Chain A
Amino acid sequence: MTAVAERSAAAEPKAGEIPSFEVTLKIRRYTPETHGDEAYWEEHTVTAHGTDRLLDALHKIKWESDGSLTFRRSCAHGVCGSDAMRINGRNRLACKALLKDLNPDKPITVEPIKGLPVIKDLVVDMEPFFASYREIMPFLITTGTEPSRERLQSPEQRARFDDTTKCILCAACTSSCPVFWTDGQYFGPAAIVNAHRFIFDSRDEGGAQRLEILNDKEGVWRCRTTFNCTEACPRGIEVTKAIQEVKRAMITRAF
């Protein structure tokens, strides 16, 4: 606190000082308890530094000016996957999006992720998303007696599905998919990515079952390869590629 006071008194930049700037957030809010059943836009201007992420700006609003602003975040460092939101029209994790990269000259739009029912402000009901995830059976399936030691795997076998182990279930991919937006019936990229993680795992024996589940009218065949999911993934997973690999596995199985 004293450091800030001193700096403004001196009015000249000190060595090592981080430059600050004003940034306006245009937030899509939905608070039926106080503002009726219509969602509305609300603008807040905060002072931010070059090292600040969008999440820091949201914190500043919530902690200093409007405590009713509601959003999810847990770890705040890009691992838990709680704070996926639509930032300037693109799905990003608020904790990984630096304000300086979002063009702070213009108001930055912040909306809840699309295609899932909004509960309040930036918080959506993730249940449909997790229902699809559960449906592909995201756990190891084996047959026979349990081995008395680890199930061994070569580095090559492990590398086959390495990319899809990185998913943090933030729903950025699924809620960026235009096919999912239409009616929400499509399994969505995230469920397919997590099925891929087990289908191509040499230790797993449930591949056929999982392929059968995704060989649905609402399964992998609804993918139009628009690459929105690959673009949205905060973990850099090649989501569209994973979906195509599952398609290929189905075709080689059928013919």
Chain B
Amino acid sequence: MTTISAPRTRGAGPGRRTSRGNWELYGWVFMRASGVVLLVLIFGHLFVNLVAGDGISAIDFGFVAGKWASPFWQVWDLLMLWLAMIHGTNGVRTIINDYAERDGTRMVLKLALYVSFVVVVVLGTLVIFTFDPCPPNSPADLLPSFCTA
């Protein structure tokens, strides 16, 4: 049986906080546009990594390093990271707004969401641009075989 909220709980009405402007509109359009772009980016990514050439057996440390040596794949992965993270975060934000009834719950969940967004995006961006397969002064047994230091 569905639960029914306590009778005479005050609903909304005249006390609505108005916040007009095109923010939600742009968000709505962004979700559609980024969704289409992500389809291309993600399936392109999957094809190049898992199907093309030697397929899945080609993936190793060197494969990733080779891809990120080219600015094309840097931009591709950066775009994929940012679009996917903004798209996903906005989607989860929407779900939190729709389902979290108490203001406190809503705030805590959104805070956790935004923190994880920042961590993933900052870390991901950093890795894409600073990835070095052969970091200097590393123990030799931890380095891939092609590193001839």
Contact = CB atoms under 8 A, between A and B. Distances in A.
B19 A111 contact: no
A216 B12 contact: no
A89 B12 contact: no
Interface residues of B, number: 30
Interface in B10-28: 10-14, 16-25, 27-28
A217 interface: yes
Contacts of B100: 182
Contacts of A182: 97-101
The dominant DSSP class at the A interface is mixed
A158 interface: no
Q: Which of B16, B18, B27, B99 has the most chain A CB within a 10 Å cutoff?
A: B16
Contact of A117 (B8, B25, B27): B8
Contact of B21 (A131, A132, A215, A222): A215
Contacts, number: 83
Q: Which of B6, B7, B9, B23 has the most chain A CB within a 10 Å cutoff?
A: B7
A250 interface: yes
B29 interface: yes
A194 to B, nearest CB: 16
Interface string B90-115: 00000001111100000000000000
A66 interface: no
B13 A131 contact: yes
Contact of A221 (B4, B8, B24): B24
B2 interface: yes
A240 B24 CA distance: 18
A184 B5 CA distance: 12
Contacts of A114: 4-5
Contacts of B5: 114
B114 to A, nearest CB: 17
A216 B10 contact: no
- Which 7 residue pairs are nearest across A and B when measured between Cβ atoms? A128-B13, A184-B11, A184-B12, A118-B7, A221-B24, A131-B13, A128-B11
Interface of A: 28, 30, 32, 37, 39, 89, 111, 114-119, 125, 127-128, 131-132, 135, 178-179, 182-186, 212-213, 215-219, 221-222, 224, 247, 250-251, 254
6 contacts: A117-B10, A178-B98, A185-B17, A251-B28, A251-B29, A254-B25
Given A182-B101, A251-B25, A251-B28, 20 more contacts: A32-B7, A39-B6, A114-B4, A116-B11, A117-B7, A117-B10, A118-B8, A125-B8, A125-B11, A128-B11, A178-B98, A182-B98, A183-B101, A184-B13, A185-B17, A215-B22, A216-B18, A219-B24, A224-B98, A254-B25
